[in-house]
Amino acid sequence: MPNHFPHLDTTFQALADPTRRGMLARLSRGPASVSELARPLTISLPAVLQHLKALESSGLVTTEKSGRVRTCRLRPNALAAAEGWIAEQRALWEGRTDRLESYLEIMKKESPE
């Protein structure tokens, strides 16, 4: 399959969930413990841990345990592959719409009014 990138699949799956996006937004302000991430959420701690596992599996987040505290951090440049893919798709579609616009202009000039 020419457009199959497993790493991107896990990244987009992680980003598809609003709870995980909220956790990423919180982590964008700096590292946080699991309990700090869980505090504003209305889900159980095991559910929070499942979301963290998905974020870790996607490579967006790393965690580190020190004593009884697990600290979570965003990975620098973790979204680079997804951003690159989106930029490629944008360029592809912009090129297609530009060609369509040019074609329609030609057709408009050639058609009798």
The pLDDT profile of the chain, 113 residues, written as one tens digit per residue, is 456 667 888 999 999 999 999 999 999 999 999 999 999 999 999 999 999 999 999 999 999 999 999 999 999 788 888 888 889 889 889 888 888 888 888 888 887 76
∠ CA(61), CA(67), CA(70), 5° rounding? 20
Contact 60, 42 (CB under 8 A): no
pTM of the predicted model, to two decimals?
0.75
What proportions of the chain, in percent to the nearest 5, are helix, strand and coil?
60, 10, 25
pLDDT number for residue 96: 87
Q: Sign of torsion, CA 14 17 18 23?
A: negative
∠ CA(72), CA(43), CA(33), 5° rounding? 20
